Amino acid sequence: MTVPFFAPDLFEDDRQLLMDLVHDIGTAPQQKFLLGECTARFEEALRDSLGVADVVACSSGTSALTLVLHAMGVGPGDEVVVPAYGCAPLANTVAGLGATPVFADVDPWTMVADPDEVERAITDRTRAIMPAHMFSVMADMPRMSEIARRHGVRLVEDSAVAQGGILDGRPAGTWGEAGVFSFVQVKTFGTAGEGGAVVTMNPELARTVRSLRNHGQSERFVYPRTGYNSRFDEVLAAFQLHRLPAFPGLLERRARIADYYTDRFTPLAERGVLPPPPGRDGRCFYVYSLLAEERDALRRYLAERGVESHVYYPLPLPHQAAFTRFAPAGRSWPHAESASRRQLAIPVHPRLTDAQVEHIADTVCAYAGLSGSR
């Protein structure tokens, strides 16, 4: 049995529909390929489902972060506190605006930003804190909200991987002054290409973001500010509208697979393979990540038995050449460094069969020296 990490047939069921959408939009009289009626309807559907003031679709999750930070006035001389372990856009977007990313260490088990470390990193130059949800665990947003209020800084929720996650009854993306989603194909609500969205309860912030995503326009060919080309594709908007009703079922399938994995893997902690914490509150199940003491050995063992796996972020952000200039001399981030050495993701996508899920779990258990039988 060969089990791919990414589903190669992710959109197979909708292939004909997607081709029809390309034809219909491409031959429509209005010739509106970007920011048209489908984009507006998609934004409205997401806004209504989340209960927020506005949703602004844009070209990617990374672009969404840039638009939010720019709209908040982040720039040279400012600092933004970000996790030391995570995807490059956390630091790239801050640095790209001329501001300084300040790295906070992460929780040693969940790998999300540690609230105590975030608070310690705040200075009188801090403009915002930007925690990120990671893999299958949301950041501690109640603590982050309290820290932001107490220090008078903006709270940006990087929920790019967490669309559909719910913490304490509140959806991912709605905890901060603004949150972002990513629709790149492997995300929980990924599409057949690239895309993102800004989610906010602040109507004025939304208006600024909406202008910035289209070169700074306030109305056609009127530019009160400089902006970006971060417009959303009409074909993908129509495609996502079609797929939206099925999204809860896809999330449930991911969650059931993750529940099964965690049940099987919890006894392995004493044998050097640590699963994420159990439960569904504050979970998103974008990626199911193990922490393995002998990560590379486990990866080889899985590969030899037909199971693809994936190493995310083999270096903490402050150790990446692009960001070392922002890393104070002599500073270390021990939990981020440990995560980089130990993290290994196994398949959790909703197109896995039960037999494939059992094979993956059996193989991990066999590696750890436990019987694969239950």
pLDDT tens digits for range 272-286: 999 999 999 999 989
Q: Does the structure show a pLDDT above 50 at 239?
A: yes
**Which of 244, 279, 294 is the last residue in one of the domains?**
244
299 vs 290: CA distance, rounded Å: 11
Portion of the chain with pLDDT greater than 90, in percent: 92
Whether residue 239 is found in the same domain as residue 262: no
Q: Do residue 351 and residue 210 come from a single domain? A: no
Q: Are residues 214 and 257 in the same domain?
A: no
pLDDT at 9: 87
Residue-wise pLDDT tens digits, 48-58 = 999 999 999 99
Examine residue 4 and state whether it is found in any structural domain, yes or no. no
Contacts of 139 (CB under 8 A, 6+ apart): 112, 113, 131, 132, 133, 157
**What pLDDT sits at residue 370?**
64
Which whole number is the average pLDDT over 4-31? 90
Task: Please check whether residues 195 and 329 belong to one and the same domain.
Answer: no
pLDDT, tens digit, 9 for 90 and up, residues 92-138: 999 999 999 999 999 999 999 999 999 999 999 999 999 999 999 99
Say how many C-beta atoms besides its own lie within 10 A of residue 279's C-beta.
11
Name the band, by pLDDT with cuts 50, 70 and 90, for residue 29.
confident
Total of domains in the chain: 2
Longest dimension (CA), the chain: 67
Does 24 fall in a domain? yes
Question: 251 — phi, psi (to 5°)?
Answer: -65, -40
In this prediction, residue 290 carries a pLDDT of: 98
Same-domain pairing of 236 and 254 = no
**Of the candidates 244, 259, 283, which is a domain's last residue?**
244
Q: Does 167 share its domain with 278?
A: no
By three-state DSSP, how is residue 12 classified? helix
- pLDDT > 70: percent of the chain: 99
Say if residue 182 is in the same domain as residue 220: yes
**Residue 1 is assigned to a structural domain of this protein:** no
In the chain, where does DSSP find H-type helix? 15-27, 37-50, 61-71, 89-96, 115-121, 141-151, 203-212, 234-243, 247-265, 295-304, 334-342, 354-367
The verdict on residue 6 lying in a domain is no
> Rounded CA gap, 101 and 126, in Å?
10
Q: Please tell me whether residues 206 and 278 are part of one structural domain.
A: no
Residue with tokens 């089990």: 3
Same domain, 177 and 269: no
Please give the average per-residue pLDDT across 281-308, as a whole number: 96
Q: Mean pLDDT across the stretch 15-42?
A: 91
The answer to whether residue 158 is domain-embedded is yes
Residues whose CB is less than 8 angstroms from the CB of residue 44 and which lie 6 or more positions away in sequence, other chains included = 55
Token pair of 31 as six digits: 């010739």
* Structure confidence at residue 10 (pLDDT): 86
> For position 353, what pLDDT does the model report?
96
Please report whether residue 46 resides in a domain.
yes
Q: What is the mean pLDDT of the chain?
A: 95
Residues 237 and 265 both lie in one domain: no
Of 12-21, 159-168, 220-229, highest mean pLDDT: 159-168
Tell me: pLDDT of 69 over 90. yes
Banded model confidence at residue 31, pLDDT cuts 50, 70, 90: confident
In a shared domain, residues 31 and 139: yes
What pLDDT, on the 0 to 100 scale, is given for residue 100? Answer: 98
Host domain of residue 43: 12-244
Same domain, 318 and 199: no
5 domain residue, yes or no: no
The pLDDT, as a whole number, for residue 80 is 98
Cα 277 to chain centroid distance, Å, stands at: 18
With 0-12 / 13-18 / 19 or more C-beta atoms within 10 angstroms meaning exposed / middle / buried, residue 219 is exposed
Q: Do 158 and 92 touch, CB atoms closer than 8 A?
A: no
Work out the pLDDT band at 195, boundaries 50, 70, 90. Answer: very high
Give the three-class secondary structure for 254.
Answer: helix
pTM of the shown model: 0.94
Would you say residue 7 lies in a domain? no
pLDDT confidence of residue 1: 79
- Residue where a domain stops, chosen among 244, 260, 282: 244
* CATH code of residue 335: 3.90.1150.10
**Residue 18: pLDDT above 70?**
yes
Long-range contacts of 24-29 (CB under 8 A, 24+ apart): 24/238, 25/234, 25/235, 25/238
- Our CA angle for 145, 150, 153, nearest 5°, is 70
Length of the chain, please?
A: 374
The whole-number average pLDDT for the span 266-295 is 95
Q: 192: closest CA among 14, 38, 5? A: 14
Q: What CATH number is given to the structural domain containing 94?
A: 3.40.640.10
